[in-house]
Amino acid sequence: MRRLLVVTLLALAPLAASAKTTAELAAKLSDPKGAQAALEELIAKKQEAVPALIGEAMEAKDIEARGWAIAGLAEIGGADAEKTLVKLTDDAKAPMLVRTWAAAGRINMAKSLDEIAALASLAQTYPAVNRPLTMKVTALAAGGKMSAETLLSLAVTNPSLQQILAEPIMNVGIDPLVEVMAHSTNTKNGDLRQQAAAYLGAIAGRQGKAGNELVGDAVAKVYKFDPNAKDVPWAGGPLYVPNIGWDKPFATKLTRTLVAWHVWCGEKGREADQKKLHHNLNSYNLAVLVGYQFPGWGTENADWLPIWGKAVGKKETAKILEEQGLENNPKYKKVLDSL
């Protein structure tokens, strides 16, 4: 009987501990040894604990108790908790540490990247919140499985988030960014194609030779020439090629594709697209790698087939013409004869 009584009392012990009022638990937030356990119990009480936590956050004499209370409010959330954290963040009379904790708490409460975007400016006043801001953005971006285009749009429209979003954007991978670079038609939020190309360059630079090869291969594939195409791969926007460490094989493969499209566009009377190709082929770095003559800046277009052909030879140049059925065209026969 005595043993049964002891077991019963032990079983009831946790219940007795958790039966403390919110006021009693809040008072323990100033106790370094008991603060964490008290906060956990307060959080478990959810909205019931909010008034007591607000009291501690606003008026506690112990600054650490205010910090614990702010953490509890951020964890429980709700309109009253948010209102309190906003008030503390804007309270010029409050200690800077308390204001910083409140700013971090508001970031922790955010449930979407749109909410984070509205809070991003807090990092300018409270630099210490950059870390929780970065962690929150990364978690929301990963958990929401947001597309490369959505993340790029958010970065472009919220300059304060650009640095923080860099990692989530690069983490979406090469292929999704290549798709945005080649096919995005979203012009409301700036030139997303250009932004995607820049991030591809950053990925390649970070990963070195392997990154250059992976990005280079993906770019060559997305712009692959198709003689039966009804439109160019970059239709609907500008043509970009990322600035990466191209080696000669990849540079030759890329320029071969661009020259083929240049011939195709010429036959279709698509001068605007020829100019886009020209600006990408008219690259000093690509010219040096492949070995063709760099026309130089200031020109709007050039006859790229013979320019490229002199570097790679008659055989490779003829293949471009053959796949388009132009090998017997007198104009192009003259080009081949000149090589």
The tens place of each residue's pLDDT in the chain, 339 residues long, gives 334 333 332 333 343 344 489 999 989 999 989 999 999 999 999 999 999 999 999 999 999 999 999 999 999 999 999 999 999 999 999 999 999 999 999 999 999 888 888 888 888 899 899 888 888 888 887 776 778 988 898 888 777 778 888 888 998 999 999 999 999 988 776 789 999 999 999 999 999 889 999 999 999 999 999 999 999 999 999 999 999 999 999 999 999 999 999 999 999 999 999 999 999 999 999 999 999 998 877 777 899 999 999 999 999 999 999 999 999 999 999 999 999
Residue 282's nearest CA partner among 268, 269, 294, 270 is: 294
CB atoms closer than 10 angstroms to residue 301: 16
In a domain, 177, yes or no: no
Domain boundary among 82, 109, 136: 109
In a domain, 37, yes or no: yes
Q: Which residues in 141-270 belong to E strands, given as ranges?
A: none
Q: What is the pTM of this model?
A: 0.71
Please tell me the distance from the alpha carbon of residue 161 to that of residue 124, in angstroms, as a whole number. 11
| Helices and strands of the chain, counted as H and E runs | 20, 0
Residue range of the domain that includes 80: 17-109
In a domain, 134, yes or no: no
In a domain, 132, yes or no: no
In a domain, 195, yes or no: no
Please tell me the distance from the alpha carbon of residue 339 to that of residue 328, in angstroms, as a whole number. 16
In a domain, 268, yes or no: yes
In a domain, 56, yes or no: yes
CATH of the domain at 84: 1.25.10
Domain boundary among 71, 91, 109: 109
Provide the sign of the torsion angle of the four alpha carbons 257, 263, 264, 270, taken in this order: positive
In a domain, 88, yes or no: yes
Domain boundary among 63, 80, 109: 109
When divided into structural domains, the chain yields a total of 2
